[in-house]
Amino acid sequence: ATSRLTSPETSSWRRSVRRCMFLGSASLLVYTLPALAATTTRVFGGVPVVSPAHVLSPHELAHAHWRAVLEHGGPRLCVVDATAGNGRDTLRLLECLALSGGGVLWACDVQADAISSAQAQLRAALEGVWQISLEEPRQDADIEAQLTQSVFRREGGALATARWRLRRFDGLCIELCWRHGCHQELLTELPASCAQLVVFNLGYLPGGNKSVVTTATTSVSAVRAAERVICAGGSISAMLYSGHEEGALESQALLSHARKAPQSSWSVYHHSWLNQRSKRTGTPAPSLLLLQRLHDAAQDKERSEGAC
């Protein structure tokens, strides 16, 4: 099911939601909009619904959570878009980074067409506001905090990485690193506990080759790799699509894996619209899986060893 929120005051709503920090609370599920009571129109299946409060869609909840995590993430942020696709999440994550003071954003996809599409979308969106300086990978690249050093050593072939240095008119800087290849391999190469946020939008590329699809086995392995790079307070965000056969198996496998996360170390949340389906295909709406690390990985290890 598709829905959208339209109002001249939605920017104020976004700023308010960004202040919320999700730690297992349901406060973000239903957000009251008192100032927009009679003016905000929510559209479900092409039919407008006017209400002062709305249940957030899985995508809206994800975006609010990303902003909250990065707002509280510290001075040097690292974010990974593990499935860049057509670049929509990449652009949203870049906006979240900009609101939080900048940092490093990785955009990875196994399909070259997806990388090209995402780059074209971001160029169009950033034009006139951000200055883009392009860099090819160098073996002697000196990258702050070693967040990207190990990957930039790998030149040539499908796994070559390009870097954009983005500078906004007010001086804010973001490093946008592109990776054509497997997201699990990228996550394996990044240092442990270096990232505040890793985002997966699973399934296949919209408008692309539907035979190229994420699978249960590879996605569970990728989430395990993401768990290693997430720092305390950081999150893994995965949008699950159970409307096709492989997606249903993938969703089941990821939820099974997530349920096993130690409650002393992780806060795990699954948001699903139970009665919303696509009018065109009849498939279930996507669902959102969030895994937030509660403690530093080293502290978890010490606690575990002490218990033994």
Distance, CA of 10 to chain centre: 21
Specify the pLDDT at position 21. 33
The structural domains of the chain, ordered by start, are 1-55 (no CATH), 57-307 (3.40.50.150)
- Give CA–CA dist 116/129, Å, rounded: 21
Res 14 pLDDT > 50? no
Burial group, residue 68, by CB count within 10 angstroms (0-12, 13-18, 19+)? buried
Higher pLDDT, 125 or 72: 125
Res 229 pLDDT > 90? yes
Longest dimension (CA), the chain: 59
pLDDT band at 282 (very low <50, low <70, confident <90, very high): confident
- Of 35-49, 169-183, 242-256, 286-300, least confident by mean pLDDT is 35-49
Closest CA to 49 of 62, 65, 36: 36
Res 40 pLDDT > 70? no
Specify the pLDDT at position 52. 54
Res 179 pLDDT > 50? yes
Specify the pLDDT at position 9. 41
Specify the pLDDT at position 274. 86
pLDDT band at 136 (very low <50, low <70, confident <90, very high): low
User: What share of the chain has pLDDT > 90, as a percent?
Assistant: 50
Closest CA to 107 of 174, 47, 61, 49: 174
